[in-house]
Amino acid sequence: MSVPANPPDFMSYEQRLPAAPENVARLRHGVARFARDAGASDRLGRKVALAVSEACTNAVVHAYQRGPAGSVAVRATRRGGWLCVEVADEGAGVRPRSESPGVGLGTPLMAILADRLEIDDNPAGHGTLVRLTFGL
């Protein structure tokens, strides 16, 4: 697949779906398409897709353990030579790992794939915000 000749300097994309395992692939594919349109190489597009898949999977598995399932929102922007992807949920927020299921490889993998990884409480008041930044 080829990189678009002259993508605009600013582009954005957003998708929100229920936090369910079957929606992780839809969110991943949507961001991968956006990354290609924004000028990402095939290799970078695969890195973006894998990192977003890990962030979405974390939201599905961990965010809503103690209450009704909510949603996962993915927002991506291209500004100049950077692609920033945010994955947000409105679940339990960032908690210590001791009570969290899973093998714990998602966050280290995201840190390897992205040029910058930030994980914070969601500024909306509850939940988690994962911000992944990639150089184009």
Whole-prediction pTM: 0.88
Q: Does 101 have pLDDT greater than 60?
A: no
Among the residue ranges 10-19, 23-32, 63-72, 114-123, the one predicted with the least confidence is: 63-72
Specify the higher pLDDT residue, 122 or 33. 33
pLDDT of residue 2: 53
pLDDT of residue 58: 93
Specify the higher pLDDT residue, 110 or 94. 110
Domains and CATH numbers, the chain: 10-95+123-135 (3.30.565.10)
Instruction: Collect contacts of 3-9 with beta carbons under 8 A, ≥24 apart.
Output: 3/36, 3/39, 3/40, 3/41, 4/36, 4/37, 4/38, 4/39, 7/37, 7/38, 7/39, 7/78, 8/78, 9/78, 9/79, 9/80
pLDDT band at residue 34 using 50, 70 and 90 as cut-offs:
very high
